[in-house]
Amino acid sequence: MTDSEITGFQSHHKDFDAITGPTPTLELLAEHRNYPFAHEAGIYIPETNNLWITSNQCVALNGSKTEQKVYITRVDLNTNPITYEEIPTEIPMGNGGINYGRDHILFCGQGSMTQPSGLYQMSITAPYATELLKGDFFGRPFNSVNDVVVHTDGSIWFTDPIYGYRQGYRPEPCLPCQVYRWCPREGTTRAMADGFGMPNGICFSPDEKTVYITDTDRLHGDGTVFDHRVSSIYAFDVSTIHGEPFLTNRRLFAMADHGIPDGIKCDLNGNVYSGCGDGIHVWSPGGVLLGRILIDGGVANFCFGRNGEIFALNEHRLWRVQLGAGIKGALLGL
């Protein structure tokens, strides 16, 4: 194992060199000390070269009362230095998100005591029109929808832990902690996987034959850490049975040794990346830890840009990682 405090990259396997390339870099793009503006989502819009991110929970003043709030920020990567602005939206406690068509983003709204948790569509142009697309499972409200991915067949897959209840801004749960598939075209909603402590990040392999789901039960939600609880990534095969998709062959793919594996993405070679307590960990498709992109304070989520570029969300800081130019994120194929 080799370390480099200068570059922030740590190799555990010779194949990591092919991912980083000969001259990987780690660059601080922005820092916001007033609140943790760079926490979740990480949605890169190639048409505008913009990045959309959600903050960690903040305390905001609403009249004479305080309330928990999450801010959504649009980062303009075309300027030097970059510029960013808070976007006013009606999404309650936004978290994960994904590109949705050319003009929209699909955000996970974790909900509040009065607003439903679910999948919210938002326009990426002013006035940023927002619409709740899916907020319940046959009348039973979701808990705190956390992360989302869109299959090429148009179906939408998402995780639903109970973090909002644990953190005091959602009512008592009405559903187990599960993973769902919603197909707008067919009008069908299905629970696809259960047995999680806290299902969190979700992504497909490049060929969409495998789903990776992180379980972050080690982190209770109020900041309490239970080392004996799961902090792992599970892999499932996407099988077709009676003409419909099922998740089969559940298996432990990897365990994060630092913090929890939160956001998760694949590159086009099938390598698996996840934001962990000391940065971003990278595993081979076979589950071997290849290396780490070390970022002090850890990374909750991140996304790929173009040609080996990664935008890493580090709470008060936003970083740009440059890997080898041949590395491309599977989500956008860039």
Band the pLDDT of 3: cuts 50, 70, 90: very low
Band the pLDDT of 74: cuts 50, 70, 90: very high
- Is residue 22 one of the residues assigned to a domain? no
Q: For residue 114, is pLDDT > 80?
A: yes
Q: Which residue's entry shows tokens 């077709």?
A: 240
Query: What pLDDT sits at residue 7?
Result: 47
- pLDDT digit string, tens, across residues 229-270: 999 999 999 999 999 999 999 999 999 999 999 999 999 999
- pLDDT digit string, tens, across residues 155-209: 999 999 999 999 999 999 999 999 999 999 999 999 999 999 999 999 999 999 9
Sequence-ordered strand ranges (E) for 88-187: 94-100, 104-109, 118-123, 130-134, 136-137, 140-141, 148-150, 156-160, 178-183
- Is residue 130 one of the residues assigned to a domain? yes
pTM over 0.85: yes
Q: For residue 64, is pLDDT > 90?
A: no
The lowest-confidence range among 6-20, 194-208, 316-330 is 6-20
The structural domain count of the chain equals 1
- Is residue 50 one of the residues assigned to a domain? yes
Nearest one of 255, 318, 290 to 19, comparing CA atoms: 290
- CATH number of 157's domain: 2.120.10.30
Query: What pLDDT sits at residue 280?
Result: 98
- Is residue 132 one of the residues assigned to a domain? yes
Rg (CA), the chain: 19
Task: Report the distance separating Cα 299 and Cα 292, nearest Å.
Answer: 11
Nearest one of 92, 100, 126, 115 to 43, comparing CA atoms: 100
Query: What pLDDT sits at residue 67?
Result: 84
- pLDDT digit string, tens, across residues 264-311: 999 999 999 999 999 999 999 999 999 999 999 999 999 999 999 999
- Is residue 273 one of the residues assigned to a domain? no
Query: What pLDDT sits at residue 326?
Result: 94
- Please give the residue range of the domain that contains residue 132: 29-267+311-319
Q: For residue 221, is pLDDT > 90?
A: no
- Pairing status of strand 58-62 against strand 65-69: antiparallel
Query: What pLDDT sits at residue 2?
Result: 41
Q: Which residue's entry shows tokens 């709740």?
A: 132
- pLDDT digit string, tens, across residues 18-49: 999 999 999 999 999 999 999 999 999 999 99
Q: For residue 4, is pLDDT > 90?
A: no
- Is residue 286 one of the residues assigned to a domain? no
Q: Which residue's entry shows tokens 């939408």?
A: 156
Query: What pLDDT sits at residue 6?
Result: 36
Q: For residue 5, is pLDDT > 90?
A: no
First to last CA, the chain: 30
Query: What pLDDT sits at residue 60?
Result: 77
Contact by Cβ (8 Å): 143, 134: no
Query: What pLDDT sits at residue 220?
Result: 84
Query: What pLDDT sits at residue 279?
Result: 97
Average pLDDT, integer, range 102-114: 96
- Is residue 195 one of the residues assigned to a domain? yes
- Is residue 282 one of the residues assigned to a domain? no
Q: Which residue's entry shows tokens 């979701």?
A: 142
